[in-house]
Structure 1
Amino acid sequence: MTDLSSGRCEPCRKGAPMVTDAEAAELLAQLPDWTIVERDGIRRLERVFPLPTFVAALAFTLRIGEIAEEEGHHPALLTEWGRVTVTWWTHKIGGLHRNDFVMAAKTDEEYRRLQSAAETESA
């Protein structure tokens, strides 16, 4: 996972190639909690992150928004009591690009960081 989470998003132009099925399978193997879903004919990466409260879910949502701004690549975020659903895909190409897998890894890294901080506070 280190390779993906330390990656940066590359500027993506309309017409850039989507990841192949083989590439997607290889990258997804590094992100075991994510699934590829298809909505409106567009393949997307998605994961639901459980959180203990709405406040925690909101804080996680805001942090993912900050990371998205830093990288210039933005997900769909659904914030609910006790969970956040994060969905990544590349709008310009209407599907999955390596950038989406990089951002999923960064999302996982941030979730682990928040979980670790919460455990430290409760100890």
Structure 2
Amino acid sequence: MATPLSPTQIQAQLAQLPAWTLKNNRIERIFTFNDFLGSIAFVNQLVGPAEAAGHHPDLCISWNKVTVSLTTHDAGGLTQLDFDLARQFSNL
């Protein structure tokens, strides 16, 4: 099981991911696209990294926006897994 990060560690990690925000013990980012097809295409790109990491985001899909939320449920908070996956998603 992954180890939860301390508040100091979380803030240090967030400083390296400026587009992500901390909300209710999870990190979140809203990705914006031109249309629904762009949103769905992006979601499909998330599958490979998420499966490879064995760690899956919570997603909210709207017409031209995808909200990605990450937390490590079995650790009860944010872990390095969340930040590693956020970095991969940010680079897509």
Q: TM-score, normalised by structure 1?
A: 0.72
Which one of 32, 43, 60 corresponds to residue 18 of structure 2?
32
Q: Does 1:53 align with 2:32?
A: no
Q: Percent identity?
A: 37
Unaligned runs of 5+ in 1: 1-12, 111-123
Q: What residue is the counterpart of 1:21 in the other structure? A: 7
Distance in 2 (alpha carbons) for counterparts of 1:85 and 1:66: 18
Residue 89 of structure 1 aligns with an amino acid whose one-letter code is: T
Aligned residues: 92
Distance in 1 (alpha carbons) for counterparts of 2:49 and 2:37: 19
Which one of 49, 56, 78 corresponds to residue 60 of structure 2?
78
Give the CA deviation at 1:79. Answer: 1.2
Q: TM-score, normalised by structure 2?
A: 0.95
Q: Does 1:109 align with 2:91?
A: yes
> Does the residue aligned with 1:92 lie in a helix, a strand or coil?
helix
Give the CA deviation at 1:17. Answer: 2.6
Residue 63 of structure 1 aligns with an amino acid whose one-letter code is: Q
Unaligned runs of 5+ in 2: none
> Does the residue aligned with 1:74 lie in a helix, a strand or coil?
coil
